[in-house]
Homo-oligomer: A and B are copies of this chain.
Amino acid sequence: MKPEKQERIINAAMKEFVKSGFEKASTNEIVKDAQISKGSLFNYFSNKKDLYLFLIQNALNIIEQIYVEIDMNERDIFERISQVGFIKLNIQKKYPLVFDFLKSLIEEDAKDVKSEINQLLANVQKDGFKRIYENIDWSKLREDIEPEKAMNILNWAMTGFAELQIAKIKSFEDIGTEMFNEWDEYKEILKSCFYKNGE
C-alpha cells in the first residue's frame, strides 16, 4: 500500500474516532474522508475493531518516537522543553490528531474495546513527564521553588502556548519563525522567574 494512502486512511480514521468515539464512529465516514472504497478498508482491516487497535498501536509508536529524538545530553530545562515542542510540532504536521486520539482513549468506554485499550495503555509509561524531563539540571533553579511545581508551570505554559498557536493558524503550512520568536519571549520571562539571578 502506498504510504501516502495509508496516511490518508490513518488520519481519516483518527478524525472520525476522535469525533465520535469507537461505537458511533462510522466506517462510511472514514472511507469517504480517506477517499477509498468500503471494500478497500475492509481488505486492509478485518473489521472496525481491528482498525481501531491498529490506530492505537500506531499512535503509541509515534509517541515513542518523541523519546528517542530527545537529546538527553541537553540538561537545561528550557532547551529541553523547546526541543520537545519542536518534535511534537513535526509530528502534528503529519498526524494532526495523534495527541487528541490518544487523549480520547482514556475516556473511551465501549465494552468491545475497553479491555484491549487498557492492555495497550498499561505498557505506556504512566508519567510521560518524568521521561521527558530525565537528566535535567535542576540546580539552576531558584532554591525556594519545588522542581515539580516549576515543571508543572512550565508544562502548562508550553501547552497553553501551543494550543493558542494551533488555534491561531489551523494550518501547519505556515508555522514560520514568528512563532518561535514569540515562544522565546515567554521562555525569557519564565527563565527570569525560575532561574537564580543571573543565569
Binding site for B on A (CB under 8 A): 19-21, 24, 144-146, 149-150, 152-153, 155-157, 159-161, 164, 185-186, 189-190, 192-194
Contacts and interface: CB of A to CB of B under 8 A. Distances in A.
29 contacts: A19-B21, A20-B20, A20-B21, A24-B24, A144-B192, A145-B189, A146-B185, A149-B186, A149-B189, A150-B189, A152-B160, A152-B161, A152-B164, A152-B186, A153-B153, A153-B157, A153-B160, A153-B186, A153-B189, A153-B190, A155-B160, A156-B156, A156-B160, A156-B161, A157-B157, A160-B160, A192-B193, A193-B193, A193-B194
A194 B164 CA distance: 21
A150 B159 CA distance: 15
Given A156-B156, A160-B156, A192-B144, A185 B20 contact: no
Contacts of A185: 146, 149
A48 to B, nearest CB: 16
Copies in the complex: 2
Contact of A160 (B159, B186, B193, B194): B159
Contacts of A156: 156-157, 159-161
User: Residue among A24, A152, A185, A193 with the most chain B CB within 10 A?
Assistant: A193
A165 to B, nearest CB: 12
Nearest to A152: B160
A71 B20 CA distance: 40
Contacts of A20: 20-21, 24
Nearest to A160: B156
A195 to B, nearest CB: 11
Nearest to A107: B19
A185 B146 CA distance: 10
Given A145-B189, A150-B189, 18 more contacts: A20-B20, A24-B24, A146-B185, A149-B186, A152-B160, A152-B164, A152-B186, A153-B153, A153-B157, A153-B160, A153-B186, A153-B189, A156-B159, A157-B157, A159-B160, A160-B160, A193-B193, A193-B194
